[in-house]
Amino acid sequence: MPEEITGYVAGTWDLDPVHSHIGFVARHLMVSKVRGKFNTFDVRIVTAENPPDSTVSVSIDAASVDTGQEQRDDDLRSERFLDVANYPKITFESTSITPDGDKYKMAGALTIRGVTKPVVLDLEVNGFGPDPYGGIRSGFSATTEINRTDFGVSFNAPIPGGVMVSEKIAIEIEAEAVLRKDQ
């Protein structure tokens, strides 16, 4: 069981999108990594009195995908990848949080392109504390790896010695949240 979380506060939290990041990393042409992120998302975190009873709910605007290259982003939005015209949201609902050494494992249901699969994220609690505006903040980091073909994102183009885009996609999340004032 992780050590007691210093300054832990139970309550309902809203993600601060300015200080948070939901991103991904994919291999490109089997020689480099391309990083991307989503610019628009809604995240609700409920920290319970008993930390493993906490929950997380995420809704991402799939069209907000951003790799810093417009042509690639348009391709990712197309039916070849995320198909945002038919599947505008990517969602995650946690189902359990369990201690894992000095961190946690957060299991949940991830939905991409209308396909829902179980995933497990490595979760780190970064801390709780006051902000300069009279509020309380919390911070979390989470990572996992998915196989995009499990979610129907199967387009690829063969190249000599491999493929254009890896099937394995790393997910990286940095979350800074603000405790709701009505707590």
pLDDT at 167 over 90: no
> What confidence score (pLDDT) does residue 68 get?
94
| pLDDT, average across residues 143-171 | 77
The CATH class for the domain spanning 11-179 reads mainly beta
> Which pLDDT band, with edges at 50, 70 and 90, does 160 fall under?
low
Closest by Cα among 139, 90, 134 to 110: 90
Task: Please state the pTM of the whole predicted model.
Answer: 0.90
User: Can you tell me the distance from the alpha carbon of 3 to that of 41, in angstroms, rounded to the nearest whole number?
Assistant: 31
Q: Which residues pair with 35 in a beta bridge?
A: 25
Check residues 169 and 179 and name the one with the higher pLDDT: 179
> Which pLDDT band, with edges at 50, 70 and 90, does 1 fall under?
very low
pLDDT at 164 over 80: no
Sequence letter at residue 99: P
Closest by Cα among 123, 103, 142, 128 to 3: 103
Check residues 114 and 31 and name the one with the higher pLDDT: 114
Burial 9-38 (b: 16+ CB within 10 A, else e): eebebebbeeebebebbbbeeeeeebebeb
> For a pLDDT cut of 90, what percent of the chain falls above it?
73
Check residues 183 and 138 and name the one with the higher pLDDT: 138
User: Can you tell me the distance from the alpha carbon of 78 to that of 90, in angstroms, rounded to the nearest whole number?
Assistant: 15
User: Can you tell me the distance from the alpha carbon of 170 to that of 119, in angstroms, rounded to the nearest whole number?
Assistant: 12
pLDDT at 171 over 50: yes
- Kindly report, residue by residue over 31-67, the tens digit of the pLDDT: 668 899 999 999 999 999 999 999 999 999 999 999 9
- Kindly report, residue by residue over 119-134, the tens digit of the pLDDT: 999 999 999 999 999 9
Check residues 6 and 118 and name the one with the higher pLDDT: 118
* Average pLDDT score, the chain: 90
Cα radius of gyration rounded to whole Å, the chain: 17
